[in-house]
Amino acid sequence: MEAESISLIDRLNDINDLIGDKVIGSRRIVRFMFISLLTGNHILLEGVPGLAKTMLADEFSKHLGVEFKRIQFTPDMLPSDITGNMVYNLELKKMEFRKGPVFANIILADEINRTPPKVQSALLEAMEERHVSVYGVTYPLPRPFFVIATQNPVEQEGTFPLAEALMDRFLFRYFLTYPSQDDELKILESTSRNNNLEYYKLGADNIEFLKNEVKNVYASHDIMEYIVNIIRQTRENSMVYLGASPRTAVKYLSAVKANALISGRNYVIPEDVIYMAHEIFNHRLILRPESLIDGENNYQDILFRVIDNILSSVEVPR
């Protein structure tokens, strides 16, 4: 591995430590955010209000040193509030395109499920194609382009479930839970400290460099076969109604390569594949109704148990 790559990976880990000191209990989440960023994907953070989802996204963006914009989703929004719209320029006496907040490197889509599907769909083209089409004209988005979306649990009032097509645009859905007693005490202690931390300002060029380095990480035939077998098992499991798609397999391979790179390796091991299975599958599998009738009310626990069963049914390469 080149010296430049090693230096940048060390910087990623330093950033993770700095954010972890300010947002207690966030180190694993930040790692998944970096994996999403370096593979050209996006991440969805789900949890009840008050778990520092917005603060985490804000701190993450400050260390990247690129343009950051926040979009607060509300029920009365229009798609043009995100993408932009044509407006009349009085000086030039002609219509011109005024860019919306989606034209930034890092987008915080805050409480994305507080707005109807019509508005949510405005992000579909941007997240997958990296451009926006308005009145038949295509406008490219800046690179890198990374969406950090937050949503409240769908059981809460005033939420609109995300469409499956939009959910699939997110590499991970990360469930945030209440902190442990020790972490909650650390949160209170941190409020009395001076949190004027330095920011590394990673920069767009370094991000693009690391994205290219991810592609060069070696994954053996056995590793790729392992991923394919897991994907196929999601479709064959008796508890799953709809399994993962071939596109998921492609995203999965990119994600495990990024995890290997962040770990300081230029090759993938089976542990990389296992490490992120819950987060990559939890929003892509639709369970059969009978899997939910076992007296257990927590859907997340049931889902994770099904994913664990799928992993245990596939032989791990040596």
Q: Is 71 a member of any domain? A: yes
Amino acid type, 109: A
Q: Are residues 161 and 32 in the same domain?
A: yes
Same domain, residue pair 48 and 177: yes
Residue 210 resides in a domain: no
What residue ranges in 157-249 does DSSP mark as E strands? 172-175, 240-242
pTM for this prediction: 0.92
CB atoms within 10 A of CB 165: 12
Q: Is residue 227 assigned to a domain?
A: yes
* N-to-C CA span, the chain: 23
Rg (CA), the chain: 20
According to the model, what pLDDT value does residue 156 have? 63
Residues in the chain, overall count: 318
Quote the pLDDT of residue 294. 63
Question: The domain that contains 246 carries what CATH number?
Answer: 1.10.8.80
Would you state the pLDDT for residue 230?
Answer: 97
Look up the CATH number of the domain holding residue 119: 3.40.50.300
Here the tokens at position 135 are 């009145």
- Helix axis angle for 246-262 and 3-22, nearest 10°, is 90
pLDDT at 295: 55
pLDDT for residue 275: 96
Tell me how far apart the alpha carbons of residues 191 and 87 are, in angstroms, rounded to a whole number. 45
Q: 299 and 162: one domain?
A: no
* Residues of the domain holding 115: 3-190
- Residue 212: inside a domain: no
The strand pairing partners of 98, in sequence order, are 85
Inside any domain, residue 317: no
User: Considering 171, 190, 209, which residue would you say is the last residue of a domain?
Assistant: 190
pLDDT one digit per residue (tens) for the chain, 318 residues: 677 788 889 999 999 988 888 888 899 999 999 999 999 999 999 988 888 888 898 889 989 989 999 999 999 999 999 999 888 888 888 888 899 999 999 999 999 988 888 888 888 889 988 999 888 889 999 999 999 999 887 656 667 888 888 888 999 999 998 888 998 888 888 777 666 667 878 889 999 999 999 999 999 999 999 999 999 999 999 899 999 999 999 999 999 999 999 999 999 999 999 999 999 999 999 988 887 776 566 788 889 999 999 999 999 998
Indicate if 234 and 302 belong to the same structural domain. Answer: yes
Whether residues 93 and 183 share a domain: the answer is yes
Note the pLDDT of residue 95.
86
pLDDT at 86: 85
The domain tally of the chain equals 2
286 and 140 co-located in one domain: no
Q: Is residue 48 part of a domain?
A: yes
Query: Does 138 share its domain with 76?
Result: yes
CA-CA distance, 222 to 54, in Å (whole number)? Answer: 39
179 lies in the same domain as 227: no
Query: Do 228 and 135 share a structural domain?
Result: no
Q: What is the pLDDT of residue 183?
A: 87
Residue 201 placed within a domain: no
**Structural domain includes residue 197:** no
Q: Say whether the peptide bond before residue 142 is cis (omega within 30 degrees of 0).
A: no
Same domain, 99 and 26: yes
Examine the domain organization and report whether 152 and 106 are in the same domain. yes
Do 146 and 20 lie in a common domain? yes
Q: How many helices (H) and strands (E) does the chain have?
A: 14, 11
